[in-house]
Chains A and B, each alone.
Chain A
Amino acid sequence: MVSNVDVKLVLSLLGAHEGKIEGRTRIQKEVCILKYRDKVPFDFSFKSYYYGPYSSELMGTISDLVGMKLIQETVVSTGYSSYRYDYELTHAGRKILDKINRTSNSFPHLSSSVRELEDLDLSDLVRLAKTQSGLRSTSA
């Protein structure tokens, strides 16, 4: 189940990153930490398998926002047969985000939480997401 709050929050998350996030894993882990540790009201449900918390609803929403041209996806080659997916707000995405920020109370502590998280490298984010979500697998 995806709510309009989720749509607003994903756009706000990108906004808090000055419009751009590098890599799907980073988005997954940040949303997970923001939801469980900082109580940002994402509705996305996360499941844990051996690889830690993951939300297919979140990825589905991002794909949708790409399809709606609110976010642009760029595939970056990171080596032989290895790719990273970066996401950036489009002009239309920024316009909608401005409207969200004007018309709702927005999400006050999102920016400060994001500023802290963007300094962490990916392996620290993965670890933190597992710990904070309580979805850590037993021996991964």
Chain B
Amino acid sequence: MSSLKRAFLTDPIAGTIELPAWLVRIKEEQAIRRMMFIRQLGLKSYIDFPGAIHTRYSHGIGTMYLSGKVVDWLAPRMQDQGMRSIATILRENKQTLMAAGFLHDIGHGPFSHAVDYVMETISGKTHEELAEEIILQRLPPDLENWFNVQLVVKLIRGKHDYPFLSSIINGPLDVDKLDYLLRDAHHVGLKYSFDLDYFLRSYTILGHDSSPENCELGLDESLDASVTAELFLVIWKSMYDLVYHVQASRIAEKMLEKVLLMHKEDDRISSQFTKIENFLNFDDGKVFSILDEIGGRASEISNWIRSNKLYKPVLEKELHVENFQMSPELIADVKESPDAVSERLSQALNNKLDRENYQFICDIVTGRSPDEIRINEVEEGEYVLLRKKSKIVGAIQGERRLMVYVDPTVTNIPSNEDIYSHCKDLIGEL
């Protein structure tokens, strides 16, 4: 370990960062390098945001850096407040938390979230489950010299025995969000920001030192904390509306998802998701080359995405019971997997209109509402929820919309009213 030279890199968000020794050890590994070839915002950088060419690697670096920063802030603070066990746990787990921050997205498929549903359909695994497999099986075992690899996996999966540690990586105030909001906003060219250091000063651990297994990451009970958290959540919500769910990119992502699903039986596609050695070579560029190699409809859609020839939106309707009759079963399915319901509806709509597979694509877009954040104030024996103190937080709700897109070469497209009427019938039958 001592023979490794100190290494630094510069980052547009965090500034100069010294790489921990364990990262110097693994930075040339295939699984690590692969993250440099997966764009953080996937197809959005090809369609709507040409500046957004940053990658999962740089997001991992930023998340790692912030994990360390949170520990450096919280450990002495908890020590000063007499929570010595909590402070010790934080210090002892600093490298583990930083590793979890860096590695949390190592299981992402090409174009990031664009292939999440395809990955789950073909491999039966989420990107978090794939991350576990890669970390445990494909990274050098001597990482144990620096941190507990099993605990890294637990942190990423939100299953650490100490929830306050898990929620630093995976929770309502996690460093993942702190990094991706600032990083994505910077790269798409939106000057959204919040004062990170000021916000982190409000972070605290709620609970008692004697039972760390019941402690949780929360915020101070102060105006500073509430107002900064409101700003953070408003930016988070805005990024979903203006960037993550922006329409043209979203259509391109759905085109990619459907063309991959169309060829899910083709070994050239399926083996990328089912064989780990293939997955480690499967990056953004490889997707297009495989689709081109398959030819036919696959290369046609691949070319359309690259030349910005996208499906056309033909329906946008809020998805609720005033617009569509929905059974409790369907409501639960939509909550559990909107992509799976979108897929069923796409199939049903093309059948009903007697069209070829995926000439029409149905897409349920789910707005996000924030997970609950608790503050350091007790009422009725419980820590109070931030929304109880903030009407702004309470007002951030996630609505759902049903979108329908159509192949740009299709003629005789039914009217919007007819498509809506077909979708109403089909949703009533699902």
Residues of A77-112 whose CB lies within 8 A of B: 81-85, 92-93, 96, 100
Closest to A127 in B: B381
0/1 string, B183-227, CB within 8 A of A gives 1: 000000000000000000000001110110011100000000010
Select one of B215, B334, B336, B371 contacting A49, CB under 8 A: B215
Given known contacts A7-B328, A49-B215, is B388 in contact with A67 (CB within 8 Å)? Answer: no
Cβ–Cβ contact A48 & B381, under 8 A: no
Select one of B214, B319, B334 contacting A50, CB under 8 A: B214
Residues of A within 8 A of B397 (CB): 63, 66-67
Cβ–Cβ contact A2 & B321, under 8 A: no
Residues of A within 8 A of B335 (CB): 2, 60-61, 64
Let me know if B320 is at the binding interface, CB within 8 A. Answer: yes
Q: Which 4 A-B pairs have the closest CB atoms?
A: A51-B382, A50-B207, A4-B332, A4-B329
Cβ–Cβ contact B388 & A84, under 8 A: yes
Select one of B326, B328, B400 contacting A11, CB under 8 A: B328
Bound CA span A137–B226, Å:
26
Could you write out 13 A-B pairs with CB less than 8 Å apart?
A: A49-B207, A50-B211, A51-B382, A52-B381, A59-B372, A64-B334, A81-B390, A83-B390, A126-B381, A137-B214, A138-B211, A138-B214, A139-B210
Residues of A within 8 A of B372 (CB): 54, 56, 59
Cβ–Cβ contact A137 & B332, under 8 A: no
Cβ–Cβ contact A100 & B206, under 8 A: no
Let me know if B369 is at the binding interface, CB within 8 A. Answer: yes
Which residues of B are interface residues toward A (Cβ below 8 A)? 163, 206-208, 210-211, 214-216, 226, 319-322, 326-329, 331-336, 367, 369, 371-372, 374, 378, 380-383, 385, 387-391, 394-395, 397-400
Bound CA span A139–B233, Å:
32
Residues of A within 8 A of B329 (CB): 4
Cβ–Cβ contact B374 & A4, under 8 A: no
Extra A-B contacts (7), CB below 8 Å, given A49-B215, A83-B391, A139-B208: A24-B385, A49-B214, A51-B383, A68-B321, A70-B321, A81-B390, A140-B381
Let me know if A25 is at the binding interface, CB within 8 A. Answer: yes
Residues of B within 8 A of A63 (CB): 369, 397-398
Let me know if A16 is at the binding interface, CB within 8 A. Answer: no
Closest to B324 in A: A68
Given known contacts A4-B331, A6-B332, A8-B328, is B380 in contact with A123 (CB within 8 Å)? Answer: yes
Residues of A within 8 A of B214 (CB): 48-50, 137-138, 140
Cβ–Cβ contact A69 & B320, under 8 A: yes
Min distance, Cβ B161 to any Cβ of chain A, angstroms: 13
Residues of B within 8 A of A123 (CB): 380-381
Closest to B322 in A: A69
Let me know if A117 is at the binding interface, CB within 8 A. Answer: no
Closest to A85 in B: B394
Bound CA span A65–B8, Å:
49
Bound CA span A70–B395, Å:
17
Min distance, Cβ A47 to any Cβ of chain B, angstroms: 8
Bound CA span A32–B199, Å:
33
Let me know if A45 is at the binding interface, CB within 8 A. Answer: no
Residues of A within 8 A of B398 (CB): 63, 67
Given known contacts A7-B332, A49-B163, is B321 in contact with A126 (CB within 8 Å)? Answer: no
Select one of A64, A69, A85 contacting B387, CB under 8 A: A85
Given known contacts A50-B207, A68-B321, is B383 in contact with A4 (CB within 8 Å)? Answer: no
Closest to B172 in A: A56
Highest count of chain B CB atoms <10 Å: which of A4, A47, A63, A139: A4
Bound CA span A11–B328, Å:
10
Min distance, Cβ A134 to any Cβ of chain B, angstroms: 14
Closest to A50 in B: B207
Residues of A within 8 A of B336 (CB): 1-2
